[in-house]
Structure 1
Amino acid sequence: MKQVTLTNQVLYLLSISAGLVVANLYYNQPLLHQIAVTFKVSEAEVSNVALFTQLGYALGLLFIIPLGDKVSNKKILQLDFLIMVISLIAAGMANSVLILIISSFLVGFTSAIPQLFVPMAAQLSDDQNRGRAIGIVMSGLLIGILGSRVISGFVGEQFGWRVMFYAAALMMIILFIILKYKLPRIEPQFKGSYASLMKSLYHYFMSDASLRLATLRGGLAFAGLSAFWTTLVFLMQDSFGYGSAVTGAFGILGIVGALAATFVGKISSNISNNSVILVAVSLLIVSWGILLFSGNSLIGLMVGVLLVDLGLQSLHITNQKIIFSKNPEARNRVNTIYMVGFFIGGAFGTVAGAMAWGHFQWIGVSILGIALSVLILIVHILEKAKFLR
């Protein structure tokens, strides 16, 4: 591979780009109530828009990201951005929930490319600075996830939900132009066929127990967070009478947790991975306990959001540090396995969260979050006892 120096300029370009692209996945969440009103469908039906966006992302991770070990990053970006922009425009023009679901699936599929940036940062860093590099890129990515809800909530409230998709398409056009000229070209070393590339995913998954465990931990944690964000808009509407702008503003609180990525990455070299995981999972359990009793308390919801995002972020960074410490020749494929599991968990959380809300309202969603977090703790304990290896 052509050696490229990971300067701070390149590192922060990767971070900002990751955030801007991944935001496409979450613009629709604070807008679900407005979309349901527009098309006169139920909350359960409109949740399919968020579900298929996440499923598209998971499949994009599975089929696009492994190519980072075989095809130049510039070639991947060129086709990917074209489809992404067309899909965002189609989503804004959708005249039915079905069209919006199909468009959202393609938006999710093409918005997987930030996961090329994380292993790129890891690959171009030395062992001492790898945690910092991953943390900075992940900070940008997670700020994009959380900040997208703030932006879309405001835009939806002021201009309508369709405008958000048109604005996103314009941002992607501008970003592609910047990446075209500023992003270093990476030429990977894998020379086999695409079929052999995909088959190797199975090999890495089956041969690396730490990868399997990290994937399970990440998927369970993100399932809880997805259940939270999918149903928060319904809670805010039903219990407080607030619209998408206030719901999206909760993303500002989550950004505080996301900013911890850089800090966690810096200190992770001095603290054992098991210790960080234990603290992170404990934060998740406590945060869901607070949320359980905060169905009518904005302050409780605010504290819960801060803690749940901080816990997830700390767990996520540690998971990625673990998986990137092995198999340097296949970091994109290893990241693919981890992130596919991560977002399959997110898709599950979206469905389970909608079902829990439909049957038990906010109490059901909170109990679901607690159960998922406790399950992570059980996995962690069994891992330390070597029962899962």
Structure 2
Amino acid sequence: MLGIMLARPVASLIAYATSWEMVFRLSSLLMVGLVVMLNLVLPRRLPEPGLCAAALFHSMALLLRHNRVLQRKAVYHACMFAAFSFFWTTTPLLLASAPLALDQADIALFALVGVSGVVSAPIAGRLADQGLSRPVTAAVLAIAAGVLVLGSFTFANQRLELALLGGVAIFLDFCVAANLVLGQRALFSLDAALRSRLNGLYMSIFFAGGALGSAGGAWLYNHYGWQVAALSAAALPGVAMLYSLFDTQPSDTTPPSTSPQR
């Protein structure tokens, strides 16, 4: 989460100092360097022969169809991450336009404010360990929806508007990091043999939500302005929160039957 949250301000600073193309060039070099480093330092692992690729993907489809915990946690965080991407796609557009008219460096400094939200991860983990996963999930979804509604308001005073947006960024990033941990903890409490597949499905689904949030946010901001975009973003965790309240599962960590998942 820290990497995700730092990526935006770092990219803005690089674009300000050089050009937007340099962001992609440096990212490509970092990825190549990462491949080389991991190839050198990761221990060699030769797992026992297991499922073939076709059977593996079929088992993942069955997991998505039958695993209730995965379904719920994926929906919650897909909505949350979509709102997160919604906000961080449209906010720079708002900051760069009149009357705020911030440059790339100022927008990068603003984005650094949200990085503080990563401190929520260990807090959420401890609360989940105490059996509070469900109420904490509902709370972070409600907080995210509430701060996005507040963020939809605009003010003539530029400092006040920047302070409000900064507060929204902190609380939203706080909620995203917390909800991610709550979801992964619930999934990792299930069958250990399924963890990689469960986590792969979970992350694929919520990143798809994030991609849709970015695309939808930019389109709504361009056609209808900031308020409609912000309120639309608020609706996403709001719907997920209502879904969590009406859930009838006894526990986030109660493993479902593994027979259809295998």
Identify the TM-score tier after normalising by the shorter chain. 0.7 to 0.9
Q: Which amino acid in 2 is paired with 1:259?
A: V
Instruction: Return the offset for 1:193.
Output: 1.3
The partner residue of 1:156 within 4, 7, 15 is: 15
Does the 8 A contact of 1:205 with 1:337 survive in 2? yes
Instruction: Return the offset for 1:182.
Output: 2.4
Equivalent-residue separation in structure 1 for 2:123 and 2:242 (angstroms): 26
Instruction: Return the offset for 1:143.
Output: 1.1
Q: Which amino acid in 2 is paired with 1:244?
A: Q
Does the 8 A contact of 2:127 with 2:136 survive in 1? no
Aligned to 1:263: 123
Instruction: Return the offset for 1:244.
Output: 2.4
Q: Which amino acid in 1 is paired with 2:240?
A: I
Equivalent-residue separation in structure 2 for 1:332 and 1:187 (angstroms): 16
* Closer, same or farther: CA 381–282 of 1 in aligned 2, 3 Å: same
Check if 1:277 corresponds to 2:141: no
Q: Which amino acid in 2 is paired with 1:306?
A: I
Aligned to 2:89: 230
Q: Which amino acid in 2 is paired with 1:288?
A: L
Show CA shifts across 1:93-132 (max 9, x none): xxxxxxxxxxxxxxxxxxxxxxxxxxxxxxxxxxxxxxxx
Aligned to 2:180: 316
Equivalent-residue separation in structure 1 for 2:38 and 2:126 (angstroms): 27
Does the 8 A contact of 1:283 with 1:307 survive in 2? yes
Equivalent-residue separation in structure 1 for 2:188 and 2:167 (angstroms): 32
Does the 8 A contact of 2:117 with 2:174 survive in 1? yes
What stretches of structure 2 of length at least 5 have no aligned partner?
251-255, 257-262
Aligned to 1:302: 166
Instruction: Return the offset for 1:171.
Output: 2.3
Normalising by structure 1, report the TM-score. Answer: 0.60
Show CA shifts across 1:5-40 (max 9, x none): xxxxxxxxxxxxxxxxxxxxxxxxxxxxxxxxxxxx
Matches within 5 A, 1:4-153: 142-153=1-12
Instruction: Return the offset for 1:329.
Output: 0.9
Show CA shifts across 1:222-276 (max 9, x none): 1111111111221011131112222232331221111321332244312421022
Equivalent-residue separation in structure 2 for 1:312 and 1:190 (angstroms): 37
Does the 8 A contact of 1:250 with 1:302 survive in 2? yes
* Closer, same or farther: CA 242–331 of 1 in aligned 2, 3 Å: same
The partner residue of 1:349 within 213, 218, 221 is: 213
Check if 1:169 corresponds to 2:28: yes
Does the 8 A contact of 1:211 with 1:338 survive in 2? yes
Q: Which amino acid in 1 is paired with 2:42?
A: L
**Which secondary structure state, in structure 2, belongs to the residue aligned with residue 383 of structure 1?**
coil
Show CA shifts across 1:115-155 (max 9, x none): xxxxxxxxxxxxxxxxxxxxxxxxxxx11111111111111
Q: Which amino acid in 2 is paired with 1:290?
A: L
Aligned to 2:202: 338
Aligned to 1:382: 246
**Which secondary structure state, in structure 1, belongs to the residue aligned with residue 44 of structure 2?**
coil
Aligned to 1:127: none
Equivalent-residue separation in structure 2 for 1:376 and 1:190 (angstroms): 39
Aligned to 1:3: none
Aligned to 2:190: 326
* Closer, same or farther: CA 207–189 of 1 in aligned 2, 3 Å: farther
* Closer, same or farther: CA 205–277 of 1 in aligned 2, 3 Å: same
Equivalent-residue separation in structure 1 for 2:48 and 2:118 (angstroms): 33
Equivalent-residue separation in structure 1 for 2:248 and 2:110 (angstroms): 35
* Closer, same or farther: CA 251–259 of 1 in aligned 2, 3 Å: farther
Q: Which amino acid in 2 is paired with 1:372?
A: L
Higher relative contact order by CA 8 Å / sep ≥ 6: 1 or 2?
A: 2
Does the 8 A contact of 1:294 with 1:301 survive in 2? no
The partner residue of 2:40 within 175, 178, 181 is: 181
Show CA shifts across 1:192-246 (max 9, x none): 2111111111111122111101111111111111111111221011131112222
Does the 8 A contact of 2:149 with 2:230 survive in 1? yes
Aligned to 1:131: none
RMSD across aligned C-alpha pairs, in angstroms? 2.0
The number of residues matched between the two structures is 246
